[in-house]
Amino acid sequence: MRKPGSNGAETQRNLRAAAIQLLSEHGYGAMNLRMLAKKVGIQASSLYNYIESKQQLLYLLCEETTGALALELDQTLKGVKEPAERLRKFVAFHLGYHIVNRKQASVLQMEIRSLTAKNFQAITKLQRLYTDKVHRIVDDGVAQGSFRVADSEIVTFALVQMLTAVTRWYRPQGRLALDQLVEIYTDLSLGMLHADSAARTARALPSPATRRPRRSEPLLAAESAESADG
């Protein structure tokens, strides 16, 4: 049967969006295909015109996100030479991506574990490529003398994870705007790297006095409450 006005490409897009939303909200195990189908507005069996399996759907979403991250990071860093400046760009990009695409990103972060062993390995391999890029920035900065770290591998992990964790609490209605968060996290990152004053001065830390908290809105959101804004 064909619903009048139905359109494959649109359904495909809706499916993707619905899947991200539901996966980030419930997790892979707790999301079932009926929920997904309902959100897309078709029957569960019709999903199989668009996906191979539930597992494959998860895999593709994870792959897509990882791939996008790597690609966009490269573009962001293109032409930027100074390690300190590259780090800044990285922080701004990584944080921004994880805030703007926070559902997608949280699927990648949380649901990897639901991938089959083979798929899991494929994704972690891709992720490793991304982390290595950051690692190189850190190492370059250390070699050049802009940064000082006890262990560049550990610091890289810690840095990436600290930034990534923003998906765990960020809420669009929160107290702080994206650019404010970027400034704050840049400062944290440079602090972790013991960046020299030259590295720090590219952009000044905003004076605390100028920020005006809107206190009524909580900053930290219970994860399950996230669904409210989906």
Partner DNA sequence: AATGAATGAGATTTCATTCAT
Partner DNA sequence: AATGAATGAAATCTCATTCAT
Size of the site for a copy of itself (CB under 8 A): 46
Q: Pick from a copy of itself, DNA, none: which does 55 bind, CB < 5 to 8 A by kind? A: DNA
CA nearest to 193, candidates 147, 125, 133, 131: 147
Q: Give the sign of the dihedral formed by CA 56, CA 14, CA 93, CA 70.
A: positive
Closer to DNA at the Cβ: 32 or 75?
32
User: Using the rule CB under 8 A, is 183 a contact of a copy of itself?
Assistant: yes
Cα 87–91–93 angle (5° rounding)? 115
User: Using the rule CB under 8 A, is 222 a contact of a copy of itself?
Assistant: yes
Question: In whole angstroms, what is the distance from residue 205 CA to residue 200 CA?
Answer: 8
CA nearest to 63, candidates 9, 133, 111: 111
| Phi and psi at residue 131, to the nearest 5° | -60, -35
Closer to DNA at the Cβ: 3 or 211?
3
CB of 43 to DNA, least distance (A): 3
Q: Per the structure block, which two tokens stand in for 221?
A: 């959101």
* Contacts (CB under 8 A) with a copy of itself, residues 67-106: none
- In the list 35, 60, 77, 110, the residue contacting a copy of itself (rule: CB under 8 A) is 110
Question: In whole angstroms, what is the distance from residue 141 CA to residue 152 CA?
Answer: 10
- In the list 168, 171, 178, 202, the residue contacting a copy of itself (rule: CB under 8 A) is 168
Residue found by looking up tokens 């950051």 in the block = 134
CB of 76 to a copy of itself, least distance (A): 21
* Contacts (CB under 7 A) with DNA, residues 44-63: 44-49, 53-55
**Which span sits near DNA by CB under 7 A: 37-45, 95-103, 210-218, 222-230?**
37-45
* Contacts (CB under 7 A) with DNA, residues 13-32: 30-32
